Amino acid sequence: MMFSGQYEAWIKSMEKPSIAEKVAGNFAAQAALTGFGATAAAVYAPVGVVMLPVLANALANGRYQQRIESEIRRIEQELHQHQDNIKNLTDAQFKFVNEALLTLTQTLEQEKLKYLTAAICKSVVDDKLRHDEASVLSRVIRDISADEIKFLYESFQYHAINFPVGEAQKGRMESERAANFPAEQWLSLEGNHHNRFILTGLLSLGLLIKTDTWVESYRFSPVVAKLLALLKVH
Protein backbone atom coordinates (compact mmCIF):
# COMPACT_ATOMS: atom_id res chain seq x y z
CA MET A 1 0.00 0.00 0.00
CA MET A 2 1.32 3.48 -0.94
CA PHE A 3 0.99 6.57 1.21
CA SER A 4 -0.80 9.60 -0.26
CA GLY A 5 2.44 11.39 -1.10
CA GLN A 6 3.78 8.36 -2.95
CA TYR A 7 0.55 8.05 -4.93
CA GLU A 8 0.73 11.71 -5.97
CA ALA A 9 4.35 11.29 -7.08
CA TRP A 10 3.50 8.13 -9.05
CA ILE A 11 0.56 9.78 -10.83
CA LYS A 12 2.71 12.80 -11.68
CA SER A 13 5.41 10.59 -13.18
CA MET A 14 2.86 8.83 -15.42
CA GLU A 15 0.95 11.95 -16.44
CA LYS A 16 3.04 13.45 -19.26
CA PRO A 17 1.27 12.82 -22.59
CA SER A 18 2.91 11.55 -25.75
CA ILE A 19 2.74 13.50 -29.03
CA ALA A 20 0.19 11.01 -30.38
CA GLU A 21 -1.94 11.50 -27.28
CA LYS A 22 -1.96 15.26 -27.70
CA VAL A 23 -3.12 14.91 -31.31
CA ALA A 24 -5.76 12.31 -30.41
CA GLY A 25 -6.99 14.32 -27.45
CA ASN A 26 -7.36 17.50 -29.51
CA PHE A 27 -9.25 15.66 -32.23
CA ALA A 28 -11.58 14.00 -29.73
CA ALA A 29 -12.37 17.29 -28.01
CA GLN A 30 -13.11 19.02 -31.33
CA ALA A 31 -15.28 16.16 -32.52
CA ALA A 32 -17.23 16.15 -29.29
CA LEU A 33 -18.21 19.80 -29.81
CA THR A 34 -20.50 18.68 -32.64
CA GLY A 35 -22.65 16.99 -30.00
CA PHE A 36 -22.91 13.46 -28.69
CA GLY A 37 -26.54 12.31 -28.98
CA ALA A 38 -27.61 11.05 -32.38
CA THR A 39 -24.43 12.25 -34.11
CA ALA A 40 -22.01 10.23 -31.99
CA ALA A 41 -21.65 7.40 -34.47
CA ALA A 42 -21.16 9.84 -37.33
CA VAL A 43 -18.55 11.81 -35.37
CA TYR A 44 -16.44 8.92 -34.13
CA ALA A 45 -17.00 6.01 -36.50
CA PRO A 46 -15.08 7.52 -39.47
CA VAL A 47 -11.94 7.86 -37.34
CA GLY A 48 -11.55 4.14 -36.93
CA VAL A 49 -8.37 2.32 -37.74
CA VAL A 50 -6.05 3.75 -40.35
CA MET A 51 -5.72 1.15 -43.09
CA LEU A 52 -4.73 0.72 -46.69
CA PRO A 53 -7.62 1.23 -49.13
CA VAL A 54 -7.16 -2.33 -50.34
CA LEU A 55 -8.18 -3.58 -46.88
CA ALA A 56 -11.46 -1.66 -46.86
CA ASN A 57 -13.26 -4.56 -48.57
CA ALA A 58 -12.02 -7.13 -46.08
CA LEU A 59 -14.81 -8.97 -44.27
CA ALA A 60 -12.96 -8.25 -41.02
CA ASN A 61 -13.34 -4.52 -41.64
CA GLY A 62 -17.08 -4.92 -42.00
CA ARG A 63 -17.27 -6.83 -38.72
CA TYR A 64 -15.15 -4.16 -37.04
CA GLN A 65 -17.43 -1.34 -38.24
CA GLN A 66 -20.53 -3.20 -37.01
CA ARG A 67 -19.01 -3.80 -33.57
CA ILE A 68 -18.04 -0.14 -33.16
CA GLU A 69 -21.43 1.14 -34.26
CA SER A 70 -23.14 -1.30 -31.88
CA GLU A 71 -21.03 -0.11 -28.93
CA ILE A 72 -21.63 3.57 -29.77
CA ARG A 73 -25.39 2.95 -29.76
CA ARG A 74 -25.10 1.14 -26.42
CA ILE A 75 -23.16 4.04 -24.94
CA GLU A 76 -25.71 6.54 -26.24
CA GLN A 77 -28.55 4.63 -24.60
CA GLU A 78 -26.69 4.49 -21.30
CA LEU A 79 -25.63 8.14 -21.28
CA HIS A 80 -29.13 9.40 -22.08
CA GLN A 81 -29.96 8.30 -18.52
CA HIS A 82 -27.30 10.64 -17.14
CA GLN A 83 -28.12 13.96 -18.81
CA ASP A 84 -27.62 15.95 -15.61
CA ASN A 85 -24.20 14.38 -15.07
CA ILE A 86 -23.19 15.07 -18.67
CA LYS A 87 -24.27 18.70 -18.41
CA ASN A 88 -21.99 19.14 -15.41
CA LEU A 89 -18.96 17.14 -16.54
CA THR A 90 -15.69 18.39 -15.12
CA ASP A 91 -12.78 19.05 -17.48
CA ALA A 92 -11.16 15.82 -16.28
CA GLN A 93 -14.30 13.78 -17.00
CA PHE A 94 -14.72 15.42 -20.40
CA LYS A 95 -11.11 14.62 -21.27
CA PHE A 96 -11.41 10.99 -20.22
CA VAL A 97 -14.75 10.36 -21.95
CA ASN A 98 -13.57 11.77 -25.28
CA GLU A 99 -10.22 10.00 -25.25
CA ALA A 100 -11.93 6.75 -24.25
CA LEU A 101 -14.39 7.14 -27.11
CA LEU A 102 -11.53 7.71 -29.53
CA THR A 103 -9.82 4.59 -28.19
CA LEU A 104 -13.02 2.63 -28.67
CA THR A 105 -13.23 3.57 -32.35
CA GLN A 106 -9.67 2.31 -32.84
CA THR A 107 -10.12 -0.98 -30.99
CA LEU A 108 -10.19 -4.20 -33.01
CA GLU A 109 -10.30 -6.50 -29.98
CA GLN A 110 -13.97 -7.34 -29.50
CA GLU A 111 -13.70 -8.35 -25.85
CA LYS A 112 -12.02 -5.07 -24.95
CA LEU A 113 -14.95 -3.04 -26.26
CA LYS A 114 -17.19 -3.99 -23.33
CA TYR A 115 -14.57 -2.74 -20.87
CA LEU A 116 -14.23 0.57 -22.73
CA THR A 117 -18.00 1.01 -22.77
CA ALA A 118 -18.12 0.41 -19.02
CA ALA A 119 -15.32 2.92 -18.42
CA ILE A 120 -17.02 5.62 -20.48
CA CYS A 121 -20.37 5.18 -18.75
CA LYS A 122 -18.88 5.09 -15.25
CA SER A 123 -16.65 8.10 -15.79
CA VAL A 124 -19.59 10.45 -16.44
CA VAL A 125 -20.82 9.92 -12.88
CA ASP A 126 -17.38 10.08 -11.26
CA ASP A 127 -17.05 13.79 -10.55
CA LYS A 128 -14.09 13.07 -8.26
CA LEU A 129 -11.90 12.07 -11.21
CA ARG A 130 -8.82 14.27 -11.22
CA HIS A 131 -7.16 15.64 -14.33
CA ASP A 132 -3.90 13.82 -13.68
CA GLU A 133 -5.80 10.55 -13.13
CA ALA A 134 -7.72 11.12 -16.36
CA SER A 135 -4.44 11.53 -18.25
CA VAL A 136 -2.95 8.34 -16.85
CA LEU A 137 -6.11 6.24 -17.11
CA SER A 138 -6.91 7.29 -20.68
CA ARG A 139 -3.39 6.24 -21.70
CA VAL A 140 -3.71 2.92 -19.92
CA ILE A 141 -7.08 1.96 -21.42
CA ARG A 142 -5.77 2.84 -24.87
CA ASP A 143 -2.90 0.36 -24.68
CA ILE A 144 -4.09 -2.40 -22.33
CA SER A 145 -5.40 -5.66 -23.79
CA ALA A 146 -8.47 -7.64 -22.73
CA ASP A 147 -6.22 -10.46 -21.50
CA GLU A 148 -4.28 -8.02 -19.32
CA ILE A 149 -7.53 -6.63 -17.90
CA LYS A 150 -8.74 -10.14 -17.06
CA PHE A 151 -5.44 -10.91 -15.37
CA LEU A 152 -5.80 -7.80 -13.19
CA TYR A 153 -9.29 -8.80 -12.08
CA GLU A 154 -8.20 -12.36 -11.32
CA SER A 155 -5.05 -11.42 -9.41
CA PHE A 156 -5.75 -8.07 -7.74
CA GLN A 157 -6.68 -9.85 -4.50
CA TYR A 158 -3.02 -10.83 -4.05
CA HIS A 159 -0.48 -8.55 -2.40
CA ALA A 160 2.45 -9.82 -4.47
CA ILE A 161 3.12 -11.76 -7.65
CA ASN A 162 6.17 -13.79 -8.53
CA PHE A 163 7.32 -15.35 -11.79
CA PRO A 164 9.38 -18.58 -11.81
CA VAL A 165 13.12 -18.08 -11.48
CA GLY A 166 16.25 -20.24 -11.33
CA GLU A 167 16.92 -22.63 -8.49
CA ALA A 168 19.52 -20.31 -6.96
CA GLN A 169 16.88 -17.62 -6.43
CA LYS A 170 14.07 -19.77 -5.05
CA GLY A 171 15.40 -19.76 -1.50
CA ARG A 172 15.51 -15.99 -1.35
CA MET A 173 12.03 -15.73 -2.85
CA GLU A 174 10.57 -18.16 -0.32
CA SER A 175 12.21 -16.27 2.55
CA GLU A 176 10.84 -12.96 1.29
CA ARG A 177 7.36 -14.39 0.90
CA ALA A 178 7.34 -15.90 4.39
CA ALA A 179 8.59 -12.67 5.95
CA ASN A 180 6.19 -10.29 4.20
CA PHE A 181 2.98 -12.05 3.19
CA PRO A 182 0.75 -14.93 4.28
CA ALA A 183 0.75 -17.74 1.71
CA GLU A 184 -2.74 -16.88 0.45
CA GLN A 185 -1.65 -13.32 -0.46
CA TRP A 186 1.16 -14.41 -2.81
CA LEU A 187 0.46 -15.43 -6.41
CA SER A 188 3.01 -17.70 -8.11
CA LEU A 189 2.57 -17.77 -11.87
CA GLU A 190 3.37 -20.61 -14.23
CA GLY A 191 6.49 -19.92 -16.25
CA ASN A 192 4.96 -19.80 -19.73
CA HIS A 193 5.12 -17.33 -22.59
CA HIS A 194 1.55 -16.10 -22.06
CA ASN A 195 2.22 -15.06 -18.47
CA ARG A 196 5.52 -13.50 -19.51
CA PHE A 197 3.76 -11.35 -22.11
CA ILE A 198 1.08 -10.34 -19.58
CA LEU A 199 3.68 -9.27 -17.02
CA THR A 200 5.72 -7.41 -19.63
CA GLY A 201 2.63 -5.54 -20.82
CA LEU A 202 1.50 -4.55 -17.34
CA LEU A 203 5.01 -3.42 -16.42
CA SER A 204 5.21 -1.23 -19.53
CA LEU A 205 1.88 0.37 -18.60
CA GLY A 206 3.07 1.11 -15.07
CA LEU A 207 0.43 -1.19 -13.53
CA LEU A 208 2.99 -3.50 -11.95
CA ILE A 209 6.00 -2.41 -9.93
CA LYS A 210 9.00 -4.65 -9.37
CA THR A 211 9.66 -5.04 -5.65
CA ASP A 212 12.98 -6.89 -5.73
CA THR A 213 15.91 -6.28 -8.05
CA TRP A 214 17.20 -9.84 -7.67
CA VAL A 215 14.07 -11.94 -8.11
CA GLU A 216 10.97 -11.45 -10.25
CA SER A 217 8.57 -10.21 -7.59
CA TYR A 218 5.93 -7.56 -8.27
CA ARG A 219 3.12 -5.59 -6.66
CA PHE A 220 0.29 -3.57 -8.16
CA SER A 221 0.69 0.16 -8.69
CA PRO A 222 -1.78 2.47 -6.87
CA VAL A 223 -3.84 3.33 -9.94
CA VAL A 224 -4.98 -0.28 -10.52
CA ALA A 225 -7.88 -0.06 -8.05
CA LYS A 226 -9.26 3.03 -9.83
CA LEU A 227 -8.76 1.41 -13.22
CA LEU A 228 -10.64 -1.75 -12.27
CA ALA A 229 -13.50 0.25 -10.79
CA LEU A 230 -13.93 2.05 -14.13
CA LEU A 231 -13.60 -1.07 -16.29
CA LYS A 232 -15.93 -3.28 -14.26
CA VAL A 233 -18.61 -4.82 -16.45
CA HIS A 234 -21.97 -5.51 -14.82
Q: What DSSP string runs through 126-170? A: -TT--HHHHHHHHHHHHH--HHHHHHHHHHTT-SEEE----HHHH
Q: At what angle do helices 110-123 and 91-105 cross, to 10 degrees?
A: 160
pLDDT of residue 132: 93
Assess contact for 2 and 222: CB atoms under 8 A.
Answer: yes
**Bridge partner list, 208:** 220
Instruction: Determine contact, residues 66/6, Cβ cutoff 8 Å.
Output: no
Phi-psi region of 24 (alpha: psi -120 to 50; beta: other; left: phi over 0): alpha
pTM for the predicted model, two decimal places: 0.75
Three-state DSSP at 182 gives: coil
* Beta-carbon count within 10 A of 216 CB: 18
Per-residue pLDDT of the chain (234 residues; tens, 9 = 90+): 455 666 666 566 565 554 334 434 444 444 443 344 444 544 444 445 556 777 778 888 888 889 999 999 999 999 989 999 999 999 999 999 999 999 999 998 999 999 999 999 999 999 999 999 999 999 999 999 999 999 999 999 988 888 766 555 566 666 666 666 555 577 877 777 898 899 999 999 999 998 866 567 889 999 999 999 999 987
